[in-house]
Amino acid sequence: MKMIQVVLVDDHSIVRDGVRATLKDQKNIKIIGEASNGKDAVKLVSELEPDVVIMDIAMPEMNGIEATDLLTKKKIQSKVIILSMHDNETYVLKSVEAGAMGYLLKDVDKEEFVKAINVVASGEKYFNTTISTLLVNGYLNKVKQGELKTSEDESEGEFDLTKRERGILKMIVDGRNNREIADGLGISVRTIETHRANIMKKLKVKNAVELVKVAIEEKIV
């Protein structure tokens, strides 16, 4: 069984002590170096090229996500597992964007920690079930807000426009002038102007530019 070389990056020595204690009796995992900020981590990892880097996020000089990003950009082959107390979706997603292969919370149990290191060292991503719940809940929050927004947009989008008005507004937004719209509908240009004036009054705008912007923003058309 191949020895997995690990570099440990955290600004709190207590955490580093804890991780060291956790891994000390793993036959195939060896901590070969430590750093306490992102900047030193990049330097150290570039030199040592460990298999796995255990990286905290919140650190002085350069945070763990930035350090991960830099390592990714320098094409260092070491695989980063973020070990963080930050349990929110944004940190997870930013980390994976930066190139992290795993994300664990600091309350992870020893067994899963070891498993994560082994999985990631083998080239697979590892995110435990807590992370799934984070991502799913984050998504549901977005949908909820999206739904609220959608309903608001729809109710605000009404604006008391008649069916005809709505149709004419659509053609205006298409970039057609009054002449073109009238010809298309087989009615008088004067009628189009009237509708146009009525629409602008209802939407409380003073010219075509504002009209188009409101129509698009409020999803009227």
Partner DNA sequence: TAAAGAATATGTATTAATACGTAATTAAAA
Partner DNA sequence: TTTTAATTACGTATTAATACATATTCTTTA
Can residue 220 be called a binding residue for DNA (CB under 7 A)?
A: no
- Which positions from 69 through 128 interact with its own copies, judged by CB under 8 A? 92-93, 96-97, 124-128
- 3-state percent helix, strand, coil for the chain, nearest multiple of 5: 55, 15, 30
As a whole number of angstroms, the distance between CA 215 and CA 207 comes to 12
Q: Which stretch binds its own copies (CB under 8 A): 19-27, 35-43, 45-53, 170-178?
A: 170-178
Can residue 133 be called a binding residue for its own copies (CB under 8 A)?
A: yes
As a whole number of angstroms, the distance between CA 220 and CA 203 comes to 10
DSSP 221: -
Strand spans (E) along 126-206: 126-127
Comparing CB distances to its own copies, the nearer of 5 and 178 is: 178
Can residue 208 be called a binding residue for DNA (CB under 7 A)?
A: yes
Q: Which stretch binds its own copies (CB under 8 A): 4-12, 54-62, 156-164, 168-176?
A: 168-176
DSSP 27: T
Beta bridge partners of 6: 31, 52
Contacting residues toward its own copies, per CB under 8 A? 92-93, 96-97, 124-129, 131-133, 135-137, 139-140, 143, 172-173, 175, 177, 205-210, 212-213, 216
